[in-house]
Chains A and B, each alone.
Chain A
């Protein structure tokens, strides 16, 4: 398919990328391109300028310092799956990255692209909210950190503003954390129809639902037993979308099922 004409730049430093994004109206960062190139084919997005982050090696690193796991925005799903840093500090990330799409997409797709596209069916937005992650964003005025709970603003809309760039995602390191994830997908490891992430490591359970609203929906039941989880999900008054894969009612039902499964998965992993 022929894309609309577009200008392209390939900065060699993060600051140059930020300057390019700020200098050109209608500029968009190009990470792995596994979403953006496809929406450009469909003309659902038509950026005037693409700023290719492919040469910014600084953004690919995965490091642990103290009690924080830091994932560069350009770290691919494949990198996350095989990273020893992830394995020793928050292994649920590798387990969920392995469920995204297929080998080819995982080789190119990045954590930064996943969260910045904020498609409601994406795996990582609910997971990162459940884990209490934070995002570091660079703009003309320097760096700022945004908690995952405040990062996702709407479908395809995040706290990363015009002229800004997501640098990294930080997650509290906890190798034995009771984290879980469950989804109902179109085919094995396909697009999520409903999903839920859970973290039982904090003082109260955190369950985050995907696919049911424009942004991940945080649910904090009083306890992690099934009745409490179902009550808490019902109490959110979800109005999920209807589509060819699931009616709103069915998706609401699946949200509760996924929440319960994610909590079971989290409890198993925390043992």
Chain B
């Protein structure tokens, strides 16, 4: 039988690269991503699970990485905002954010992009209502929602 331990060796695939690390059981996944493997595109906004700035994809699903322990992600495939653009070429979603001025301070943007890309993977042509429902767990404190929603809807319209 497995015995409880304060740390554990984990292996996760992040943006296609495998990382093996020993992590404390208490370590949040967002800290693992930002501090242990230096992918600081994933942001910490509220640290209470409300703001969505830490949103990543865990095995293809959007989740908030501040509400997961790193040990829970053992064996998982993770995608962070750094994994969206290949070879420095921005995705259609990222280009649309730029074209629609869908970011002001930019702090919420990584989480918005990850929630939006999870939506577009399931529903390539979402309407406004579907987009608003998909980013409900993401807070933009600049309140720039109109342009964010337009940017995401527009990706579907131009797909």
Contact = CB atoms under 8 A, between A and B. Distances in A.
A35 B71 CA distance: 17
Contact of A104 (B6, B24, B64, B133): B64
Query: What is the size category of the interface that chain B forms with chain A?
Result: 35 or more
A4 B118 CA distance: 32
B52 A102 contact: yes
A108 B137 CA distance: 13
Interface stretch (B55-63, B85-93, B141-149): B55-63
Given A34-B49, A37-B28, A105-B64, 6 more contacts: A33-B72, A50-B4, A102-B138, A103-B62, A103-B133, A103-B136
A107 B4 CA distance: 26
A36 to B, nearest CB: 9
B103 interface: no
A30 B68 CA distance: 10
A112 to B, nearest CB: 16
B4 A9 contact: yes
Nearest to B76: A54
Interface of B: 1-6, 8, 24-26, 28, 47-49, 52, 55, 58, 61-64, 66-69, 71-72, 74, 115, 118-119, 133-134, 136-138
Nearest to B111: A104
Given A33-B69, A105-B64, A38 B49 contact: yes
B139 to A, nearest CB: 10
A165 interface: no
Contacts of B2: 9-12, 16, 20
Contacts of A33: 67-69, 72
Interface in A170-210: 188-189
A20 B72 contact: no
Most chain B C-beta atoms within 10 Å of own C-beta, residue among A3, A6, A33, A108? A108
